[in-house]
Amino acid sequence: MKEILNEKLSRVPFEPGVYLMKDADGRVIYVGKARNLKKRISSYFKKPGQLDLKTGVLVKKIFTFETIITRTEKEALILESNLIKRHRPRYNVILKDDKRYPSLRLDMKSPYPNLNIVRKTAKDSNMYFGPFASSHAVRQTLKIIHKTFKLRKCKTRDFHSRSRPCLNYQIEACLAPCCISVDKDTYNEIVKEVVLFLKGRTPYLINKIKKEMMWAAKAQEYEKAAILRDKIFALEKTLEKQISVTTDFMDRDVLAVARSPESSIITLFNVRGGYLLGTQHFDFAETMSTDTEMIGAFIRQYYEKIHFIPKEILVPILPEDASLLEDRLRNIKGQKVSLVFPKRGEKAHLLKMAIHNAENELKIKIASETADMDILARLQKKLKTDRIPITIECFDNSNISGTNPVAGMVVFEKGKPKKSRYRKYRIKTVAAHDDYAYMAEALKRRYGKGEQSKPFPDLLLVDGGKGQLNIALSVIKELKVKEGFEIIGIAKKNEEKGETIDKVYKPGRKNPISFGREGDLLLFLQRIRDEAHRFAISYQRKLRTKTSMRSRLDAIPGIGKKRKETILKHFGGIKKIRAATLKELSALPEMNYKAAEAVRKALNSEGYLGHP
């Protein structure tokens, strides 16, 4: 094996290109690019002891590799990114489509823009700010804006349907453009101030408002001057809370890396106008990338998605292809962007601060993973199972008196929810209300597809007592799942019988497992069960709303199957259909003015007062 790799390596040219590492099953596990293919690939196959422990372990997974020679390094960069997108290799740094970090969208399509919290940004005419470090951070910012500026606060659909201003107008927190004629220029001034604030130009904004206040005072407009003074106070208060990190008032991002053998953290500081406005941490599992490759991969992926790229990005190490990256960023931004590795002064201090934060975040991550693994190891001991329950799947049903029955499956990996693997099942084959049969159908659909059903969990947790557990056991037996996995059931305590805790049942055991002092293990299982419950219920609710929406549309004269589907597809929910204007409804394919009027009339008769 080693000889084959060495022989292959001897034929690799000293040219730029892309390499693909493959495992024994032929899966592409890593894609990289290099200015010099020979040099880069050789670096993976150094003598034992010359590689760090982590890379050594990963390199052992390389069974073979392929190379593609390119004319230039730039071509290699494009090819590498296409191949990563296609194969999504396990050991590359791939930025998840992370919805954890919310942004603010300034709805520029509306004549009176408002701000909304969004999880996804788009390349459209709206303005986006963020991403923010957390939901709490974005809500706090929104709260300050709403307290300080008279930007409208209502949702656009409510804005159109208002017949009178809301309380915000009465407390003088909004000019009420919903109902009162508000001069667009006056409102735009508010929007401009909000934009300055969100861009971190608070000191400039304060100076601007101070000047306005002086003019107002000179003109003896004392009421206006007092309002401006309060605004200045509010802004100065927020400024006090922000940390000033540089004195040159520039916008820049700062990137730092912290690594352990199992995972890596990239920390990003957003410095705007010299103030640290946000911190985000991105975690990556094992990777074969070096630090420079990690930084390069992060920059390429992150700044493709983001709406604002600062002129300067501080990095802890300059990527090999720094000038290519700068070109790419310049193309996106339309202006020069510099990657800088500062060695001294304020910027170096800032970088050090980011590195310290990345290291701290990594420590927290490792501690939490260790705690999770400890729980799993103790759970294995308590349940007396053969393997540690690294992957746990849990099922729960939901229905209302047998209508719209559904089942939901949640997955916990290494003690954490793995939402991308959650599954919903709309029960198809059970006519009568029968919880056991619902469970059996969902289990058959999950585990009865042979190879396609893989990977199987280490532990299957069913919501319910011995009845549900026996159903699960017989279904798995019937499906002849060779690999097999442990199955347990968790039943709610019966308070009428004086039970004080939930019960966990294992096959072949009459009595529930006693957790004694290890109540945290029971809590952990309850958390998984509750998550399955939440997931199944929310799916059931969604279906119920859809069904009721369909039947409401069914009852409208002139709305046939095609029109109904068009309306549902376009608006998605009854609230949005209700908020739609006649113009919007009649503009849909298959619809006309008369049909739109019929929809509006029917929905209004349900007690809704819409706008024309």
Q: Please tell me the count of residues contacting ligand SF4 according to CB under 6 A.
A: 13
Cβ 473 vs Cβ 507: under 8 Å: yes
Q: Near ligand SF4 by CB under 6 A, which window of 22-30, 54-62, 153-161, 202-210?
A: 153-161
The nearer residue to ligand SF4, 56 or 165, going by C-beta atoms, is: 165
Contact with ligand SF4 (CB under 6 A): which of 38, 162, 224, 333?
162
Comparison of 199 and 611: residue with beta carbon closer to ligand SF4: 611
Residue 408 touching ligand SF4 (CB under 6 A): no
**Dihedral sign, CA of 13, 15, 17, 23?**
positive
Sheet containing 115-118: which strands, arranged edge to edge?
115-118, 103-106, 127-129
The enclosing H or E element of 13 equals: none
| Backbone φ, ψ for residue 120 (5° rounding) | -130, 140
Comparing CB distances to ligand SF4, the nearer of 102 and 177 is 177
Residue 139 or 157 having the CB closest to ligand SF4: 157
Q: Is 153 in the site for ligand SF4 (CB under 6 A)?
A: yes
Q: Phi and psi for 105 in degrees, rounded to 5?
A: -110, 125
Q: How far is the CB of 178 from ligand SF4 (least distance, A)?
A: 3
468 near ligand SF4 (CB under 6 A): no
What Cα–Cα distance (Å) separates residue 508 from each residue in 376, 499, 505, 511?
A: 22, 22, 9, 9
Tell me whether residue 159 or residue 197 sits nearer to ligand SF4 (CB atom): 159
Each residue 165-204 as x (binds ligand SF4 by CB under 6 A) or -, in order, gives xx-xx----x-xxx--------------------------
> What is the residue-wise DSSP string for 517-551?
T-HHHHHHHHHHHHHHHHHHHHHHHHHHHHHHHHH
Q: How far apart are CA 89 and CA 21, in angstroms?
A: 9
Minimum gap (Å) between residue 179 Cβ and ligand SF4: 6
Whichever of 162 and 229 has its CB closer to ligand SF4, that residue is 162
Q: Does 44 bind ligand SF4 (CB under 6 A)?
A: no
Please say which residue, 169 or 197, places its beta carbon nearer to ligand SF4: 169
Q: Does 423 bind ligand SF4 (CB under 6 A)?
A: no
C-beta closer to ligand SF4: residue 152 or 529 = 152
How far is the C-alpha of 423 from the C-alpha of 442, rounded, in Å? 10
Cα gap 490→505, rounded to integer Å: 6
Residue 596 C-beta: closest distance to ligand SF4, Å:
25
- Binding ligand SF4 (rule: CB under 6 A), the pick from 152, 259, 281, 365 is 152
Q: Are 481 and 501 in contact (CB under 8 A)?
A: no
DSSP class of 420: G
**Out of 101, 159, 275, 571, which residue is the one contacting ligand SF4 (CB under 6 A)?**
159
Is 142 a binding residue for ligand SF4 by CB under 6 A? The answer is no
- Is the CB of residue 481 less than 8 Å from the CB of residue 447? yes
Question: Distance between the two ends of the chain, CA-based, in angstroms?
Answer: 75
Closer to ligand SF4 by CB, 172 or 240: give it. Answer: 172
- State in angstroms the smallest separation of the CB of 608 from ligand SF4: 16
Q: Which is nearer to ligand SF4, 176 or 488 (CB)?
A: 176
* Part in contact with ligand SF4 (CB under 6 A); list of ranges 161-169, 215-223, 389-397, 562-570: 161-169
Looking at beta carbons only, is 176 or 271 nearer to ligand SF4? 176
CA distance 35 to 17: 7
Sheet with strand 264-272: strands edge to edge: 243-244, 275-284, 264-272, 252-259, 312-314, 338-340
Identity of the residue, 89 or 177, whose beta carbon is nearer to ligand SF4 in the bound complex? 177
Cis bond upstream, residue 131 (ω within 30): yes
Cα gap 436→558, rounded to integer Å: 42
User: Taking the mean position of all CA atoms in its chain, how far away is CA 607?
Assistant: 37
Longest CA–CA separation in the chain, Å: 90
Contact (CB, 8 A) for 472 and 406 = no
**Which residues, in sequence order, are bridge partners of residue 241?**
none
Q: Are strands 459-463 and 391-400 parallel, antiparallel or unpaired?
A: parallel
Q: How far is the CB of 166 from ligand SF4 (least distance, A)?
A: 3
Q: Is 146 in the site for ligand SF4 (CB under 6 A)?
A: no
Distance CA 37, CA 73 (A): 11
Under the criterion CB under 6 A, does residue 154 sit at the interface with ligand SF4? yes
Which of 65/169 has CB closer to ligand SF4?
169
SS3 387: coil
Shortest distance (Å) from residue 579 CB to ligand SF4? 13
User: What would the two tokens of residue 72 be?
Assistant: 């230039």
- Shortest distance, CB of residue 146 to ligand SF4, whole angstroms? 9
444 belongs to the binding site for ligand SF4 (CB under 6 A)? no
**Mutual angle of helices 73-87 and 322-333, in 10-degree steps:** 70
Q: Which two tokens stand for residue 582?
A: 């006649």
Tell me the closest approach of the beta carbon of residue 113 to ligand SF4, in angstroms: 11
**Binding of residue 610 to ligand SF4 (CB under 6 A):** no
Q: Among residue numbers 239 through 268, which ones bind ligand SF4 (CB under 6 A)?
A: none
- Sign of the alpha-carbon dihedral angle for 125, 127, 131, 133: negative
Q: Measured from the CB of residue 122, what is the shortest distance to ligand SF4 in angstroms?
A: 24
Binding site for ligand SF4 (CB under 6 A): 152-154, 159, 162, 165-166, 168-169, 174, 176-178
